[in-house]
Amino acid sequence: VSTLSLCFRINRRSGGLFLQTKMAAPLTLLVIVAVTIRAVLFRSSLAELISERVEVVSPLNSWKRVVEGLALLDLGVSPYSGDVFHETPLTIYLYHFVIDYAEIVCMVTDGITAVALYLAVQVYNKNVFRKQKYALEADRYPHDCLELMQTPKELFYVPLKVAMFYLLSPFTILSCVAKSTCGINNAIVALFVLCTIKGSALLSAIFLALATYQSIYPITLFAPALIYLLQRLYIPVNLRRQSFWLFTLQYAFMFVGSLVVIVGLSFFLLGSWDYIPSVYGFILSVPDLTPNIGLFWYFFAEMFEHFRLFFICVFQINVFFYTIPLSIKLKDHPVFLMFMQIAIISIFKSYPTVGDIALYMAFLPVWSHLYRFLRNIFMVSCVLLACSALFPVLWHLWIYAGSANSNFYYAITLLFNVGQVLLVSDYFYAYLRREHHLSHGLYLKKKDGSEATLVLK
Amino acid sequence: MPTLTLASARSPFRDEFAEELAIRPLHSGDIHASFQFRTVWGVDLLQATDPRFLRYAILPREIVCTENLTPWKKLLPCGSKAGLAVLLKSEKLFHSSYFSQAVHIRPVCQGMHCTVPSWEMRQTLNVVFDLYTSGQGKREWSMFKIKIYVDVTDSPQGELFELSPPTPLLSQAVVLGDRRTYSVYDLTDPGTFGKVRSLNLLVRWKADNGDMLRPLLHGERYVAGFGLQTGEIHTLIYNNHPYRAFPVLLLETVPWYLRLYIHTLTVTSKNRENKPSYIHYQPSKDRLRPHLLEMLVQLPPNSVTEVTVQFERALLKWTEYPPDPNHGFYVGSSVLSALVPSLVAMDTNITQEHPLFSSFFLCKEESSYFMRVYTEPLLVNLPTPDFSMPYNVICLTCTVVAVGYGSFYNLLTRTFQVEEPSQSLAKRLANVIRRWRGVPQL
């Protein structure tokens, strides 16, 4: 113990400064590599192919539909009068000005996401390290848990790995080359994570409102953000404490206030509320059954008409439902809760694309210390890789060759989603198990002294 | 092309009724028969014709059969009891290579100042009888009994076809802005029959592929692209006028399940972009409203104008597919409306027959005529779900959601505990026996 805490003590002095300076160069290099890959792909003939892929673009964020919306505006028709355009008014006004630089905007948003995640994880890791150190100094961990400690050496590369997982992930690259507006949503969520972790309640609320405005679902991130900010201000989550309610109301007010401002701004930009049913109604009622990697399209294509409303409610509630139990279970670990929420949203949302998956997968390096507790990571990664490869194959067989039917593609989406569910629940399991070991010791013994196995009861 | 009017009758039934049959032999050897009926009521059916109540509807495909013909015939004043309608025998009509049946209802004016509103109903029925399949296999065609006009504009000197017996009587008329020459056989004049006291009028074709008199304006339409994801609708508009350009109004209604992308709309004539001077576009609403695209395109002389627009094929709910989903979906024809400049106006020899001043005013009122052309309906395939799968899909997807729910529920509600292995049944039984025997337990 003494050598380890000594080692920690040495690192504490140099740590902060060291992290700031030495990592800028690799990050810059990473961004340059990422931009180069994207620029090459934009110039290649693949760009057009990628932008038509149903896995990469959904009716909500396809670039073709953004251009269509702008063309409708030019014709003097409200883009929301039809059922092709489902972007929010602010997005269309953003693109109205940058339509000629769309490729640059996509690369920049990806860069912003990566840098925001990088900075957020850096701050988070510093906090984790500090907490761990205090706990060690207070001798709060069982003695056999030293091998569970996160060493500065491990933590040092995590932010860079996160940025790399985001920027070099094939999913992000595809999404960026397709000019999917999913990149913007990811950037907003990443900025929200950064502001929350940095402890800026106002900015966090503003970005959360923006993310909610873009696609409703991020509203579930309200809970982890609130818990994190409370924790940062040393306010206990206790429903009987006045300070808890005071801050909750304050944060909720900031969130609702900025949401009202954004929604009002959109109203004044277009002069009508048409966008509400066209964007949020479209997300919630799932009228467009274009195949994608999610669970909704085939389910509602094959659904009996009189059960449709019931199942739409069930499936949509499913996305929001996990917030409360997860917040209770993970009330001491808001950043992991945030990761869980982002992952659940991107699995169970109505029009998921690979860009959404890329966002939560970028967080995986943060939990690399859970690796020893993951039960089926090998199988899950094989499933996810195989499915990613099979998507275009079976799509081709169904749509172009005509030698397969929709069931083939559907089967792959099912498997892909099972893989994602298993991946996320595996990380959840590993996280809980590590926490258990941190309080009960790593090598547990049975009453008779033999080696014990942990089970969930 | 020889054209002749067989009969024209007027009945005082209702307010006004007129009927007409025009027969035209086609180059292929088939016969085109066009039945026209017109009924006019001198009453105001609707108080006002507000353009807001204007509706456009199209049914791209309907299997026509007696069920369509019978109610249609009932709209006639005497049904099928009298007049030309007696000829409309369904067993003959539906053994034809082309059949088209229409009802037009529109308000018309009576009187000088349009003070008396009235409504006109026009019923038209066009049939092309296929003589090849009906066994004769000949392009020769003959007719007797009535007074006949034969259109000889294409071969005034008998280059293309020959009429026998020849007739000295020629007549000229302007039909659809086109100056036409007719050989007239007046059956009321006994001199026409000559000595044999009978006339067998015979059209004998000389050339196989004569230069068809092409219409000045016509259109074609087809779907390009492969696969079931995207596609492109191509509309070709032909202007065969040698030197006059004229505008045409193109109206397209495309069902919502082909999601049109208006920004991919291109109009090209003679390999150059031809920007429409006016575009009205109403995007579709899923399951409510089709796309409506209307535009005014200037057609350069002697050109083909190509209008292309890309679309995406939607996946529908399984209950929204017709009984034979892999047959495809029909998309209604697009409508081309134009004021086509008349060929009479382009005739430069006009100065020889008429006073000089008449040629200064080429844009006379009769120098153009209104024409409406319908293109072919399209047949488009959509991706289909497996119709035998609803129960399986509901089960499987719910299973996946339940796997997610179950694994989260498990982790949320349970806690980690050290496993205390419960004694196996055999051991417990052995212990009961041992206790009974008074031996130490296992």
Q: Report yes or no: B185 and B199 within 8 Å, Cβ to Cβ.
A: yes
Q: Which of residues 112-171 of A touch B (CB under 8 A)?
A: none
| Cβ–Cβ contact B123 with A under 8 A | no
- The CATH number for B218-380, chosen from 2.60.40.740, 1.10.630.10, 2.30.30.100, 3.90.230.10, is 2.60.40.740
Residue A457 included in any domain: no
Angle at B429 between CA B428 and CA B432, to 5 degrees: 90
Q: Report yes or no: B90 and B66 within 8 Å, Cβ to Cβ.
A: yes
Which of A52, A77, A291 comes nearest B283 by C-beta? A77
Q: What's the pLDDT tens digit per position in B255-292?
A: 999 999 999 999 999 999 999 999 999 999 999 999 99
Which of B283, B385, B407 comes nearest A425 by C-beta? B407
Q: What's the pLDDT tens digit per position in A417-427?
A: 999 999 999 99
Measured CA to CA, the distance from residue A201 to residue B292 in angstroms comes to 49
| Cβ–Cβ contact B395 with A under 8 A | no
Residue A452 included in any domain: no
Place of tokens 């150190």: A133
Measured CA to CA, the distance from residue A227 to residue A222 in angstroms comes to 9
Q: How many CB pairs under 8 A join A and B?
A: 170
Q: What is the pLDDT of residue B359?
A: 42
Residues 6+ apart with CB under 8 A from A284: A216, A312, A316, A350
Q: What is the pLDDT of residue B174?
A: 60
Q: What's the pLDDT tens digit per position in B361-370?
A: 444 445 678 8
DSSP string, A166-207: HHS-HHHHHHHHTT-THHHHHHHHHHHHHHHHHT-HHHHHHH
Q: Report yes or no: B108 and B122 within 8 Å, Cβ to Cβ.
A: no
| A161 φ, ψ (degrees, to nearest 5) | -65, -40
Q: What is the pLDDT of residue B244?
A: 85
Task: State the total domains in chain A.
Answer: 1
Q: Which of residues 339-378 of A touch B (CB under 8 A)?
A: 347-348
Cβ <8 Å between A457 and B414: yes
- What residue type is A102 in one-letter code? A
Q: Which of B7, B19, B8, B25 is nearest to B129 (CA)?
A: B25
Q: What's the pLDDT tens digit per position in B287-301?
A: 999 999 999 999 999
Q: Report yes or no: A364 and A174 within 8 Å, Cβ to Cβ.
A: no
Measured CA to CA, the distance from residue B439 to residue B81 in angstroms comes to 113
Read off the DSSP letter of residue A400.
I
ipTM: 0.91
Measured CA to CA, the distance from residue A261 to residue A256 in angstroms comes to 9
Residues in chain B within 8 Å Cβ distance of A453: 418-419
Cβ <8 Å between A444 and B415: no
Angle at A176 between CA B283 and CA A319, to 5 degrees: 70
Cβ <8 Å between A433 and B416: yes
Q: What's the pLDDT tens digit per position in B26-46?
A: 666 677 778 888 888 776 655
Q: Which of A267, A154, A161, A262 is nearest to A210 (CA)?
A: A262
User: What sign for the dihedral angle of Cα A145, A146, A147, A149?
Assistant: positive
Residue A243's pLDDT band (cuts 50, 70, 90):
very high
Q: What is the pLDDT of residue A115?
A: 95
Burial pattern B159-187, b for ≥16 Cβ within 10 A else e, equals eebebeeebeeeeeeeeebbebebbbbee
Cβ <8 Å between B386 and A297: no
Domain boundaries, chain B: 4-205, 218-380, 387-415
Average pLDDT over residues B387-394: 92
Q: What's the pLDDT tens digit per position in A73-90?
A: 999 899 999 899 999 999
Average pLDDT, chain B: 77
Q: Which of residues 372-401 of A touch B (CB under 8 A)?
A: 398-400
Residue A127 included in any domain: yes
Read off the DSSP letter of residue A304.
-
Cβ <8 Å between A299 and B397: yes
Q: Report yes or no: B251 and B294 within 8 Å, Cβ to Cβ.
A: yes
pTM (2 d.p.) = 0.83
Helix, strand, coil abundance in chain A, percent, nearest 5 = 75, 0, 20
Count CB atoms within 10 A of the CB of residue A264: 10
Cβ <8 Å between A302 and B262: no
Cβ <8 Å between A347 and B404: yes
Which of B385, B400, B415 comes nearest A295 by C-beta? B400
Q: What is the pLDDT of residue A219?
A: 95
Distances A449 to A229, A342, A433, A443, B43 between C-alpha atoms, Å: 43, 42, 21, 11, 105
| Cβ–Cβ contact B283 with A under 8 A | yes
Measured CA to CA, the distance from residue B103 to residue A90 in angstroms comes to 49
Q: Report yes or no: A150 and A132 within 8 Å, Cβ to Cβ.
A: yes
> 3-class DSSP state for residue B217?
strand
What is the extent of the structural domain holding A208? 2-440
Q: Which of A191, A180, A198, A399 is nearest to A291 (CA)?
A: A399
Q: Of B215 and A9, which is predicted with more confidence? A: B215
Q: Report yes or no: A72 and B262 within 8 Å, Cβ to Cβ.
A: yes
Cβ <8 Å between A399 and B227: yes
Q: Which of residues 305-334 of B touch A (CB under 8 A)?
A: 312, 314-319
The distance of Cα B247 from the centroid of its chain, to the nearest Å, equals 21
Q: What residues pair up with B370 in beta bridges, in sequence order?
A: B339
Residue A456 included in any domain: no
Residue A448 included in any domain: no
Residue A455 included in any domain: no
Please report, to the nearest 10 degrees, the dihedral formed by the alpha carbons of residues B41, B44, B46, B47 taken in order. Answer: 170
Residue A220 included in any domain: yes
Q: Report yes or no: B223 and B232 within 8 Å, Cβ to Cβ.
A: yes
The HSE-up count of residue A240 (CA atoms within 13 Å, CB side) is 0
Cβ <8 Å between B385 and A406: yes
Count CB atoms within 10 A of the CB of residue B137: 9
- Write down the H helix ranges in B57-195: 66-74, 90-93
CA nearest to A428 within chain B: B411
Measured CA to CA, the distance from residue B106 to residue B122 in angstroms comes to 9
Order of strands across the sheet with B303-313?
A: B217-224, B230-239, B303-313, B258-269, B272-273
Residue A343 included in any domain: yes
> 3-class DSSP state for residue A390?
helix
Q: What is the pLDDT of residue B8?
A: 36
Q: What's the pLDDT tens digit per position in A1-59?
A: 444 444 444 444 444 444 455 678 899 999 999 999 999 999 999 999 999 999 999 99
Q: Report yes or no: A367 and A336 within 8 Å, Cβ to Cβ.
A: yes
Q: What residues pair up with A165 in beta bridges, in sequence order?
A: none
